[in-house]
Amino acid sequence: MRCRASMWVSGSCLVLVLGWVQAQSQTTPRTNYTRPVFQCGGHFVTDSGFVGSEGFPSYYKPDSKCTWYITVPEGNVVMLSFRIFDLEADPLCRYDYVDVYNGHSYTMQKLGRFCGTFRPGALMSTSNTMMVEMASDSGTGGRGFVAYFNGAKPHVDENQFCGGRMTKPQGSLKTPNWPEKNYPAGISCSWHITVEPDMIIEVKFEKFDLEPDSYCRFDYVAFFNGGEKDDSRRIGRYCGDLLPGDIVTNGNELLVQFVSDLSVTSDGFMASYSSIPRGSREPTVEGAAGTGPNMDSAPPKPSVKPPAPARPAPFTPKPTSPPQPEPTTPKPATRKKPLNPPQNPLCRGACTRAGNIQSSFCNSEFVITGKITAVTPGLRGSVNINVSLIKAYKAGRLTITQAGEAMSVRLQSTCKKCPLLRRGMNYILMGQVDENGRGVLVPGSFTLLYKAAAQKHLTNLSRRPC
């Protein structure tokens, strides 16, 4: 079962998931069925089951911390798949979050920290244990999460073992069935590579084709610096058909995990690794993740330079006067020309919004909240805007990139001062999307300074039919 849509259809996903939970529960003899009650933490020793935030589907409690310990039968690894996910959003997940650990201890490797409403991808331990912890602060909350866990075995067939411990100075990694046919659905592979202490590991991809998804939630390959007990951040998570760049570790250990869900499959990947002298290559930046090598690239540069400022009216000092410092008094009226007059006819009118928050919500392709992190000049008086995403209520065709736990979008405003957006401020932003997946703001687009109280109103709008 898969609910791929964004949170504006989460209500229907919630109904489906709870129905599925009921169907799963009814497979065992039971005299009277009751809806599952999710407690704050617990120990699960079983081959499969559900974990969820306390009181789900009601809003989770503030100022709480809950820890769930999962143990599946020996010889298996734990597969964890989030079905519903709705926590307070923050680019760095500082307030409400879910942490997942590769074992029953904080000393084990942290497989990820998650918040917001974008459902994380499947996670896999390297042993038969996993720990899930959720924390909330005293402020805004959400409905929490529901996740399904089960015990799974590394994929093995008569010709190939998927995953394992590798200690040779070079070797290869490939998905099962490569290259004869697609990799199977519903498998997990974990490679732990170790080389000599004075060496580091370099991985190069030769072929790459995994099921595409903007957040690599379904099929992916992930890389972690260090071994099972290393708490370094994830190097990257990759999917799609764009060949990732070379992966270079910061030490002599590398953990590689490949996961496929139960539906769409693709050709897979083929990669080779080798040990190289420490210091010979710069390590890959930790926290990078995406569908290919362009996920964390800089914004595209304009094909031509921005228009130069208008030249001020000439002013010739008297020959007998010595050079004077810049005057501190206002300049003469003849020099008050605009430095960069608008060149786009759309920018000549009054700067007013075309509708209210509800009508704009329905008429816009994307509706997001986020922090303005950069505003740079564009063509014909336009500006390019980078936004650190707080929450997306409608995404449509908008391209959202991810680096570590933070997600961002790129917008273009056709007019420099309409709407006027200040770097470092949080906004509600609504607009259209161009053919390249970039958001577009025009003078009539709805923008408003964002306050936490608006989150509930936007959530309600996302659940109403337009």
Tell me the torsion sign for CA atoms 134, 124, 49, 187: positive
Q: What is the model's pLDDT at position 42?
A: 94
Would the pLDDT of 21 be above 70?
no
Would the pLDDT of 158 be above 60?
no
pLDDT tens digits for 233-264? 678 889 998 899 999 999 999 988 888 877 78
Q: What is the model's pLDDT at position 230?
A: 53
Minimum mean pLDDT range among 394-408, 422-436, 450-464 = 394-408
Would the pLDDT of 340 be above 70?
no
Would the pLDDT of 335 be above 50?
no
pTM over 0.75: no
Q: What is the model's pLDDT at position 311?
A: 39
pLDDT tens digits for 275-299? 999 999 999 875 443 444 333 333 3
Cα separation, 278 vs 197, whole angstroms: 9
Read off the pLDDT of each residue in 151-164 and give the average, rounded to a whole number. 62
pLDDT tens digits for 38-73? 999 999 999 999 999 999 988 999 999 999 999 999
Cα separation, 149 vs 70, whole angstroms: 8
Minimum mean pLDDT range among 130-144, 226-240, 448-462 = 226-240
Tokens of 177: 């069935």
Higher pLDDT, 37 or 271: 271
Q: What is the model's pLDDT at position 6?
A: 39
The answer to whether the beta carbons of residues 16 and 1 sit under 8 Å apart is yes
Read off the pLDDT of each residue in 332-351 and give the average, rounded to a whole number. 54
Would the pLDDT of 462 be above 50?
yes
Task: Report the percentage of the chain scoring pLDDT > 70.
Answer: 75
Q: What is the model's pLDDT at position 90?
A: 83
> CA nearest 368: which of 421, 291, 417?
421
Read off the pLDDT of each residue in 108-123 and give the average, rounded to a whole number. 81
The answer to whether the beta carbons of residues 149 and 48 sit under 8 Å apart is yes
pLDDT tens digits for 384-405? 999 998 888 888 888 888 765 6
HSE-up (13 A, CA, CB side) for residue 460:
7
The structure tokens 């690239």 sit at 297
Mean pLDDT over each residue of the chain, to the nearest integer: 77
Which residue type is seen at 182?
N
